[in-house]
Structure 1
Amino acid sequence: MHYRAVAYYVHITRENYAIERLKMIKMLCMKGGNGDTSYANNSLLQKQVITITMPVIQAAMTNMHRNMSFPVTKILCMADLGCSSGPNTIFIMSELVRTIYETCEVSGHKSPEFQIYLNDLPGNDFNTLFKSLQGSLEKMVQVMGTCLGPCFFMGTPGSFYGRLFPSKSLNFVHSSYSLMWLSQVPQGIENNKENICIGSTSPPNVLEAYYKQFQKDFSLFLRCSEEIMAGGQMVMTIMGRKNEDRSSIEGIYTWELLAMALNQMVSEEIIEKKKMEAFNVPLYTPSTGEVKLEVEKEGSFIIDYLEVSQVEWSACNWGLSTNDTNGYQYDLAQCMRAVAEPMLAGHFGESIIDQFFHSYDNILCDRIIKENPKLYNVTVVMVKK
């Protein structure tokens, strides 16, 4: 889940907000390394989402390539925004390089050189990511041969809610499971008791505040599109909703249950109530209508494709039979742990983590058995005007 949050809001004074925000940025990243609870080993659900959307991504890349001025254009520049540190980014970039290579073979053009930018916040585990690159490059050459153009990878730390690249320098931009993360939790949601983002008991003002923050951030993101060349394409997959009801929790149900586990620990006096009430997550899962509205208002792109897909929670473990619910529940909890542990540990302390996720395991297992929940994803393909 390409983690793109910039900050989460703790109830603090205005004077200390900037300092606290910078401190939180350092904690907002997927769990790095290659350990049992790392993102690298617990991102099969995200891989499933990428696999579902890959034909759309490849079609966008092919269309963009056909409209480029070959053989004049010799370098193809692309970026993955919110790359995180697991294998999914390497998989995406490898597939896109292979798509262009095969297109060139068919058309008789020489393969271009590839400039690939991998972006995430500075706290991302870029070391683990780049350690895995050499083996991936060797496999690409083995499959595609020496006619493949050189591939140059660069790390680009920073928030995509601001400029990252020179003007008109990118041909293609990809982002998966990133833009549901806001730049910050909206202010004025102190009455969102017992929730950590939008929840089933959130008051109307909280729903509106989160939506306004999404509008502000997504519009800012789109305004940075001057980095993309005319005719370039951007493909984004965002955890979202299938309906237009902002009070629906279908897009954030896993986080609703995470809040339930936290409240259970409050009732057991393991977590202080005031600490729970001060913890909020900068997450908004938009609908297709909300995404379309912001793209059309900003005006830099033409929407070429906009659809909702779904994936069952059990997709986080392809290796188990469909009857192995306990395995599903465990791996989904591990997936969420790889995403949420840095935030939880930073706010509540390391000592509660194992006990917390044991409780969360049990809640997930109960809901999977009773409901067979799903995640919904909004995928949009946009062409730069």
Structure 2
Amino acid sequence: MASKQAVHMKHGQGETSYARNSSFQAPEDLTRNRIPAFDIDEHARREMLPMVREAYEQQFRKDFKLFLELRAKELVSGGRMVISLVGTRSDVIASKFSLFPGIVAQILSVMVAEGVIDKAKFDSFYVPLHGPSIEEVREIIKEEGSFLIKEMRVHDPTAEMNIALSSPSKFVNNLIALFEPIIVQHFGEVMDEFVRAAELHWSLDVDGSLREERVRTSRAMLVVSLTKA
């Protein structure tokens, strides 16, 4: 009884279950128009980048509003919730994409060239990852209206990162931890080939630019404390 009074939550099942109301959404505008999130051709990729960015931003806005709406149905008035998500530092002009989806796309494009995965499947692969700024998150929360913001913080996970600590195994393990379920769901059991291609991708980074980019990335952790209005 004490724990129920402290948490103030309803059952997150049925209509109030975010898991049942959401799936990998990679963005509707892109899937509808059959626009790949990452084109193997660099010129085409640069031309489409503004459209891809906008599509991902709008999809995140839609999904995050749904998340807040469903969580609000589980909480009584005054109930509190803390959200932690990967975002983008406000002081960096960036694409709002994490470094990792681009790397994954490059690795998968090699697998396409080798005939390991189908080109059509690659073109329809949209990684459901958008890195919002703290201002963007604040705007969406206020727009949705179910919660009051108590506190917001930005943590830079690369602030004390040492480039020398990077290694092929850490690089590949990071990719596997983040993307294996999505890759397997879309392409099937191709992780052995993916690991091999990822290790090759790392070994070809002879000038260390990839390792340095991991440190310079605009990625940040956003933490938001909310109270139901």
TM-score range, shorter chain: 0.7 to 0.9
CA contact (8 A) 1:232 1:384 kept: yes
Query: Which secondary structure does the structure 2 equivalent of 1:312 belong to?
Result: coil
CA contact (8 A) 2:36 2:126 kept: no
Match of 2:76 among 213, 229, 251: 229
Q: Kindly tell me: are residues 270 and 246 of structure 1, through their superposed partners in 2, closer, same or farther at Cα, counting changes over 3 Å?
A: farther
Query: Which secondary structure does the structure 2 equivalent of 1:311 belong to?
Result: coil
User: 1:360 — aligned with what?
Assistant: 198
User: 1:323 — aligned with what?
Assistant: 164
Q: Which has the larger radius of gyration?
A: 1
The Cα shift of 1:345 comes to: 2.5
CA distance in 2, matches of 1:269, 1:232: 52
CA contact (8 A) 2:84 2:224 kept: yes
Which protein has the bigger helix share?
2
**Greater RCO (Cα-Cα under 8 Å, separation 6 or more):** 2
The superposition leaves residues 196-217 of structure 1 with CA deviations (integer Å, 9 ceiling, x where unpaired) of: 9xxx744323222222222222
The Cα shift of 1:270 comes to: 2.8
CA distance in 1, matches of 2:107, 2:55: 24
1:349 maps onto 2:188 in alignment: yes
Match of 2:57 among 190, 197, 211: 211
CA contact (8 A) 1:234 1:383 kept: yes
Q: Kindly tell me: are residues 113 and 247 of structure 1, through their superposed partners in 2, closer, same or farther at Cα, counting changes over 3 Å?
A: closer
CA distance in 1, matches of 2:27, 2:158: 30
CA distance in 1, matches of 2:120, 2:148: 46
The Cα shift of 1:364 comes to: 4.7
Query: Which secondary structure does the structure 2 equivalent of 1:238 belong to?
Result: strand
User: 2:16 — aligned with what?
Assistant: 163
The superposition leaves residues 252-297 of structure 1 with CA deviations (integer Å, 9 ceiling, x where unpaired) of: 1111101010112222333332221122222222111111111111
CA contact (8 A) 2:88 2:132 kept: yes
User: 1:335 — aligned with what?
Assistant: 174
The Cα shift of 1:163 comes to: 0.6
Q: Kindly tell me: are residues 286 and 244 of structure 1, through their superposed partners in 2, closer, same or farther at Cα, counting changes over 3 Å?
A: farther
User: 2:121 — aligned with what?
Assistant: 275
The superposition leaves residues 222-274 of structure 1 with CA deviations (integer Å, 9 ceiling, x where unpaired) of: 2220321222211101111113889615x411111010101122223333322
Correspondence 1:246-325 to 2 at 5 A = 248-249=95-96, 251-312=97-158, 323-325=164-166
Match of 2:29 among 182, 188, 191: 188
User: 2:2 — aligned with what?
Assistant: 75
1:238 maps onto 2:85 in alignment: yes
The superposition leaves residues 156-205 of structure 1 with CA deviations (integer Å, 9 ceiling, x where unpaired) of: 677xxx5149xxxxxxxxxxxx9xx9752222312235359xxx744323
Q: Kindly tell me: are residues 76 and 344 of structure 1, through their superposed partners in 2, closer, same or farther at Cα, counting changes over 3 Å?
A: same
The Cα shift of 1:346 comes to: 3.1
Q: Kindly tell me: are residues 376 and 299 of structure 1, through their superposed partners in 2, closer, same or farther at Cα, counting changes over 3 Å?
A: same
CA contact (8 A) 2:27 2:126 kept: no
The superposition leaves residues 343-370 of structure 1 with CA deviations (integer Å, 9 ceiling, x where unpaired) of: 32233232x3212122223435635533
Which protein has the bigger strand share?
1
User: 2:222 — aligned with what?
Assistant: 378
Correspondence 1:13-52 to 2 at 5 A = none
CA contact (8 A) 1:240 1:285 kept: yes
In structure 2, runs of 5+ residues without a counterpart are: none
CA contact (8 A) 2:88 2:131 kept: yes
The percent of aligned pairs where both chains have the same amino acid is 28
Correspondence 1:103-114 to 2 at 5 A = none
* RMSD of equivalent CA atoms: 3.6
Query: Which secondary structure does the structure 2 equivalent of 1:192 belong to?
Result: coil
Q: Kindly tell me: are residues 313 and 348 of structure 1, through their superposed partners in 2, closer, same or farther at Cα, counting changes over 3 Å?
A: farther
